[in-house]
Structure 1
């Protein structure tokens, strides 16, 4: 387990409330992973897809683009037009951060979290962004090196 993974594992399993510093570090890790998965994301102005013969196609939907920020949705579009996991995130290019705005239109991911009643905004941000971090690992494993095609 690398140092970032060990840090996240220890922090996630901690019962202490997450701080802005904790969440910010996760924002930075996700920024690095997004750029590994989508190297030209800063120049991406149109929705794109990675087609894969063994896995669901990976869709990047462009919601808004500005000079220093952009909002995207990363998802699989399954049968019956079901989008899963449908992660909407905002990239702060100048600060080099990625912040999850929602997962499947939810602002709280884990409704069974044992400390949900104690969850502050930072804890909720932690849950959502940790989910993105883990899903980006999955996507990097399955899709890295594949070509993005404009829709």
Structure 2
């Protein structure tokens, strides 16, 4: 279920001055997007899951930790660049199933002018990172992506070594 867009949240986006309420709303919207992309996320065992799309690069989701109320996961594309595997964007997310929220723990990407490394951010940086993840999840949904129910073999480098997602 998609939440309605709140006028005050839109005003925060336009003004560039987010507040805690707008950030919470954005985290709820991201939870709804992720739930559509990964049905039954809370019931999946740890492992790597893949999503293939004819028009795009493979998307990987790695469930690192699964607890009663939370899941910690990584979400990334893996690009082949000069024989090496490059994860980009590469996000580590904490999902709060009981609260219906997704929190960005770590975000590494080279596309948008955000900080390359996402560390102990202030409200503005949290807003930017969560907005980026929200746009990315929306893009994945528009592509028709969905993750298979069974884990897949993790991506490998040309050398055959496993790609480390979001090291």
* In 1, Cα distance between equivalents of 2:59 and 2:95: 18
* In 2, Cα distance between equivalents of 1:35 and 1:58: 16
The answer for unaligned runs of 5 or more in structure 2 is 116-120, 153-167
Which residue is 2:26 aligned to?
26
* Larger fraction in helix: 1
Is the contact made by 1:68 and 1:94 (CA closer than 8 Å) also made in structure 2?
yes
Which residue is 1:84 aligned to?
88
The total of aligned residue pairs comes to 139
User: TM (normalized to structure 1)?
Assistant: 0.80
User: 3-state DSSP class of the match of 2:88?
Assistant: strand
The answer for unaligned runs of 5 or more in structure 1 is 112-119
Name the stretch that deviates more: 120-129 or 72-81.
Answer: 120-129
Give the deviation of 1:124 after TM superposition: 1.2
Matched, 1:41 2:33: no
Tell me the alpha carbon deviations over residues 81-130 of structure 1, each in whole angstroms, 9 at most, x when there is no partner: 11010111100011110011111189xx624xxxxxxxx72111101100
Is the contact made by 1:28 and 1:97 (CA closer than 8 Å) also made in structure 2?
yes
Tell me the alpha carbon deviations over residues 41-86 of structure 1, each in whole angstroms, 9 at most, x when there is no partner: 1112221001223210110011211111111111111112110101
* Bigger RCO (CA 8 Å, 6+ sep): 1
User: 3-state DSSP class of the match of 1:83?
Assistant: strand
Give the deviation of 1:8 after TM superposition: 4.7
Residues 58 and 8 of structure 1: CA distance in aligned 2, closer, same or farther (over 3 Å): farther
Is the contact made by 1:89 and 1:100 (CA closer than 8 Å) also made in structure 2?
yes
Tell me the alpha carbon deviations over residues 22-54 of structure 1, each in whole angstroms, 9 at most, x when there is no partner: 110001000000001111211122210012232
* In 2, Cα distance between equivalents of 1:149 and 1:52: 17
User: 3-state DSSP class of the match of 2:98?
Assistant: coil
Is the contact made by 2:52 and 2:145 (CA closer than 8 Å) also made in structure 1?
no
